[in-house]
Amino acid sequence: MRLAQLDINHVRNLVGAHLECCPGINCLYGENAAGKTAVLEAIHLLARARSFRTPRIGDVIQHGRTSLTVVAQLVDDNGRHIITGLDKSVSSTQIRFNGARITRRSEQAQNLPLLIITPDSQRILAGTPRERRHWLDWAMFHMEPDYIGSWQNYYQALRHRNILLRKGGKDEQFNPWEKAMANAAERIIVLRRGYISRLQEGLQQCADGLFKGVKIAINSAGDGKETYLNCLRTQRDNDIRLGHTQSGPHREDITFYTNGHEAGKTLSRGEGKLFVILLMLVQAYEYQTKKREYPLILIDDLSVELDGKTREVVFALLSALNMQIFITTTTPEIRKVKNTAYRRFHVKQGKVTKMVK
């Protein structure tokens, strides 16, 4: 899916912004506070009906206005033209896709898949295990159709077990919930491991010459259903003392390594940013391979923390991807990107204009 045209109204400082996008790399260049990130925010809103910067839509709607709109003309991978639009106020959200009203955000997320990289994305390396699980779950929900069912079953059984732990349930009350947890956990673990190992393989290829010894490890709750079930049973007394379940997919964590060291603890800011960009690009590639559909890629503040040489590397990787990409930058770089459509837009005081090369 690619954006051919985009119209944005009343998102932050953008009023009547119109972009004729190219199918390759679209570079939004401008000074601080021009409205560059607001353009990415508008695309994200259209795809996910929420901002990536704040959960409060009132902060995103232009001051003095009560609603925002984002409308796009899309071209799908078969060349079909589709119109999609979002109209959002504090109390209501209306989404239309190809003439139909969309009532579930997840449906629109499937219609318009995207991946976003912001300076905060580095938290995947150095943030909390919860953030990494969230990142992994989000990817899995979109990649593996049966993941969500197992995930819901697991969390439902976990909640029941935790209630029993706190109120002092009997063995026979624990047994069915622990079995349900073990059944669901087995599937979750298999799917997560499969995905992580495919990401690792892709990352090793993509990082060749940039990072040595790339590895992604997932600390699993146990191998197989029986092992995990035994683990739950042996830990039950301890869990009763603590009042919650200590191990399982809800406690898994992912660790990224380069050259035998934890990436989150050793990489410099620039290296970390490059690593995360590579990881996201591999995710995008993985999505395309599995779903036979190209996701959009949004990169906010590409130039920040990357030196000129690393930016060249990133541009070469982006152009090899053959996906539609939106980049914001404060650096007025002019590039010839081989075999890839490339368009620059100048963003100034909430206005977006196409730049002549």
Positions in 43-62 near ligand ATP (CB under 6 A): 59, 61-62
Token pair, residue 17, equals 């912004």
Q: Is the dihedral of CA 132, 133, 134, 136 positive or negative?
A: positive
Q: Which lies closer to ligand ATP via its Cβ, residue 50 or residue 215?
A: 50
Using the rule CB under 6 A, is 353 a contact of ligand ATP?
A: no
Rounded to a whole number of angstroms, the CA Rg of the chain reads 22
Helix, strand or coil for residue 309? Answer: helix
Of ligand ATP, Mg ion, none, which one does residue 32 interact with (CB within 5 to 8 Å by kind)?
Answer: ligand ATP
**Smallest distance, ligand ATP to C-beta of residue 313, A:** 22
Using the rule CB under 6 A, is 89 a contact of ligand ATP?
A: no
Query: d(Cα 136, Cα 11) in Å, to the nearest integer?
Result: 29
**Smallest distance, Mg ion to C-beta of residue 303, A:** 11
- Which residue has the CB atom at the shortest distance from ligand ATP? 37
**Smallest distance, ligand ATP to C-beta of residue 284, A:** 22
Q: Which residue of 2, 6, 9, 12 would you call a contact of ligand ATP, by CB under 6 A?
A: 12
Chain residues that interact with Mg ion, rule: CB under 5 A: 37
Residue 120 in contact with residue 135, Cβ under 8 Å?
A: no
Using the rule CB under 6 A, is 9 a contact of ligand ATP?
A: no
Q: Which residue of 5, 13, 204, 230 would you call a contact of ligand ATP, by CB under 6 A?
A: 13
Strand spans (E) along the chain: 2-9, 17-20, 25-29, 67-75, 81-89, 93-97, 100-102, 114-117, 215-219, 253-258, 261-262, 296-299, 325-329, 342-348, 351-354
Q: Measured between alpha carbons, how far is residue 180 from residues 146, 152, 159, 170, 212 in Å?
A: 16, 11, 12, 17, 41
- Which residue has the CB atom at the shortest distance from Mg ion? 37
Of Mg ion, ligand ATP, none, which one does residue 38 interact with (CB within 5 to 8 Å by kind)?
Answer: ligand ATP
Q: Please, what is the Cα angle at 44 between 39 and 49, to 5 degrees?
A: 125
Binding stretches for ligand ATP (CB under 6 A): 12-13, 30, 32-38, 59, 61-63, 328, 330, 347
